[in-house]
Structure 1
Amino acid sequence: MRIGFLFNHSAGHQVAHSLPVALALRRLSNRADIRILVSQGSEAEVTRMLDREAGPRPDIVRLAPPAPLARAAKRATGGAVPADTLSVLRRNLDHFRDLDALVVPEKTSLLLKTHFGLDNLKLIHTRHGAGDRAIGFDKASGKFDLVLMSGAKIRDRLSDAGLLRQDGHAIVGYPKFDLPPRSPRPRLFPNDRPTVLYNPHPSPALSSWYSMGPQILDWFAKSDEYNLIFAPHVMLFQKKLTASLSPFALGWNRLPDVRHYDLDHMLIDTGSAASVDMTYTDAADIYLGDASSQIYEFIRRPRPCVFLNPRGHAWRGDADFAHWQAGPVVETFDDFEAAFEEVPMLDPADRQRQRDLFAYSFDLDARPSSERAAAAILDYMGRA
């Protein structure tokens, strides 16, 4: 039984959602031939995670890189068109054709079936993150042979949209939580100020960065009350031009002011491993953000949250913004300043809401989530 795990992205933020499953599957089954297929953008994070594992490594297949024309098309569009990702799929069809199943954390790989003729290949979706954005529950989300879900929330939303296949889904928990814990809690600053994590999403339709972000960084730069970790979604600065499709919006990016990098109470990280392995969600005291699914990793331990809604979304009662129930929502920069005039505190009602949101999003038990996911794959492949 040949099972591939594909990491075909220009950044490494999806790796922790699938690689622990590959390692667990290798431990649980001696009849599964596990292959790790990596493109250049994900290889560094795959290697970093494997370096922390004991025992022999699974086979790593370095995929043929994208064609020069595809790289040029990506550059010409400021990164808005992922021509390189599509080119990697096309140029490595022989690797995919040799598999019984392919496990992926993203949806672009559906093209292997819909456009590249690999009808017999079983596609298994681990998803990445447990967020609420509408794109996580679009029609493509229902086209996989097997979907592995973090908890009841994902199941319910896919079911409500008519996207669950009978015998093609399983709730398995959150394999990213199986990463080795850091103890003690990371200490990132030479003082004891409250530490705020500002974690904007790249989507122009939802992100606070394009209209408020630089001004927020300036405010914290002048503050003698707070430390700030600025760790946006790793894709925010990967593209000069970012597009969101539902609803449609465009965003032109500009990097943080160079002055902010030299302040001892500010940490600017636009894409290191620490920005994707929960270092900052563990270290911060307060969360400031908009649409990133990392909010759910943050509230694993309830703490104060403040959400930014500069586009004035009518969010109440909308499942796409369920995480905004975890704290106050502000719409203007003046409201942001008022929210941080005094150090935000977590009141009992918000604490309980965070616990409820977390429990609905993650079904966790004594068995590691990666093992539950591996067992679900073996069960499905045995039936298939």
Structure 2
Amino acid sequence: MSEITTEADRIVGALAAGGGGLDPYPLYAQLHELGEASLLTPGLLPYSAAAFGYRAVDQIMRDATFEVHDALRLEPMSPTWREHPVLVTLMNSMMFSNGVRHGRMRALFRKVFTPRRVQEMEPDVIAIAAELLDRIELLGAGGTEVDYMAEFAYLLPARVVGRLLGLPDSDISWFRAQVDVINDWLDFRRKGPEVLAAADRAATDITAYYLELIAQRRAKPEHDLISDLTKAVDGGTHEVTDLELVGNLLVLFNASFSTTIHLFGNALPLLLSGSEGRSQLIAEPAAYVEEVLRYDTPAHVFIRVAGKDTEFLGLPLQEGQLVAVLTGAANRDPQRFAVPDLFDPARRDNQPISFGAGAHYCLGAALARTEAQLALPMVVDRFPALALGSDPVRTDQFILRGYKSLPVTVSSLVTAGGTSDASG
């Protein structure tokens, strides 16, 4: 193992080791003093370079020279990868595909997962949010603490994407648990054999579940995304296999669920930390959500592979070398955002790179934004006395930064009889 020889080695190493309990932003500020990107000492980390400036991150994600890790890249590193269902499932998705194969699958999903489809989901978002807020009001009566993550931030995105795909509400809790296991394995610090084995079991179960649901929708279509996907494939205009459908449905659920959870969670302390948060959110929900995405983004790291020997911003890279693309740092780049450590919902020209860029731009981005813009104002409108409760608990991941638990109270006072004088 090589020794730390540069400031970039030290900082990126600390980020990689720190996990969810680490505040990465002071380290990002130190990275920005080094420029936009840096080589890393060979053998110290899996990555040969890191991109952390906004321009560098945007450029590398749009450059077709830099690829995602696909089956062709995986083969020489792990010849037995096909023995692991989680790897087989993920490699069947556009998230882990490049070039023509990626474009073939992406075209199918873009055909059916349209802006109109997202707009059609708005009544579902509002109805599900209202139902969850009713439950929170009951749970929080008398000043009792409620875990906002468990009762709202997790359930709303899960039920919305479940409704989009056509998953029964009764299956969402099980499905979310399987996706959490796979996300645990995807976190670059947590790839031990036990974590991999659990992810394999989850992928096997999800595959069986989706294959059965695809068969049901073929036989009896409904008004959901899976029905439309199978109809487009069976119509002969898109050559996508059922196993590729499964891989991409898993990724779509993940993209529309995992990051949105932490968007809701990361937004709440910001909303409650100042006197103007509520009014700013109500006045300009889209601008407020964009600033949350910039200031405390859920997704902090993407990985890219050099598809050939190349040079990036003056840094020489060899084919197959990995680059850590730090979107969390890019969103705090002082060369792109004035006073980047200030939370400012009125910020002009605010274009966070939280959902990536280029060919692999997140499919679920529009749905995530819509959910937050609709539901966050409902939360603060419903509970004027909403306040943070006991100590929150951070997730133990770094790639997806957020909260595991975020206790809140929704009542300001408790009467002598033990009931709240106002639930909001």
- TM-score class, shorter-chain normalisation, is under 0.3
Greater C-alpha radius of gyration: 2
Q: TM-score, normalised by structure 2?
A: 0.25
Higher helix share: 2
Q: Relative CO higher for 1 or 2, CA cutoff 8 Å, sep ≥ 6?
A: 2
Q: TM-score, normalised by structure 1?
A: 0.27
